[in-house]
Amino acid sequence: GAVVSQHPSRVICKSGTSVKIECRSLDFQATTMFWYRQFPKQSLMLMATSNEGSKATYEQGVEKDKFLINHASLTLSTLTVTSAHPEDSSFYICSARDRGTRPLLNTEAFFGQGTRLTVV
């Protein structure tokens, strides 16, 4: 299957600082990438949908000024958590859809390895 690389896998930062998480599709072009947040023992909650070359679409309740998403190329999307606070500590996971796949049918979401963010 397709490979999605997410970096870093773990990060510890001080409260008030910003953290950037990268999501790369290594062997395919991803017009759409998704960013999820997962709290311990809970499901994945979609934060935003990132489309290459356009603004991200944020889910209700997700602050777009706090979680900055950039999808500048077909293989890279970044999520920046700005002015991080301890309550932002979580597992963040990206997924990417292969551009070559027919829309809405037979699509697969390939997940990155996730980033465990701890804000102290």
Partner 1 sequence: GQQVMQIPQYQHVQEGEDFTTYCNSSTTLSNIQWYKQRPGGHPVFLIQLVKSGEVKKQKRLTFQFGEAKKNSSLHITATQTTDVGTYFCAGRGDAGNMLTFGGGTRLMVKP
Q: What is the binding site for partner 1 (CB under 8 A)?
A: 1, 32, 34, 36, 41-46, 49, 93, 95, 103-114
Q: How far is the CB of 43 from partner 1 (least distance, A)?
A: 5
Instruction: Quote the least distance from Cβ 36 to partner 1, whole Å.
Output: 8
Residue 57 near residue 67 (C-beta atoms within 8 A)? no
Q: How far apart are CA 106 and CA 101, in angstroms?
A: 7
Bridge partners (DSSP) listed for residue 57: 49
Query: C-beta of 14: minimal distance to partner 1 in Å?
Result: 24
Q: Pairing state of beta strands 44-51 and 30-38?
A: antiparallel
Closest to partner 1 by CB, 42 vs 73, is: 42
Tokens of 78: 């970044």
Q: Least CB distance from residue 83 to partner 1, whole Å?
A: 26
**70 touches 62 (CB < 8 A):** no
Which of residues 31 and 78 has its CB atom nearest to partner 1 in the complex? 31
Residue among 82 and 99 whose Cβ is closer to partner 1: 99
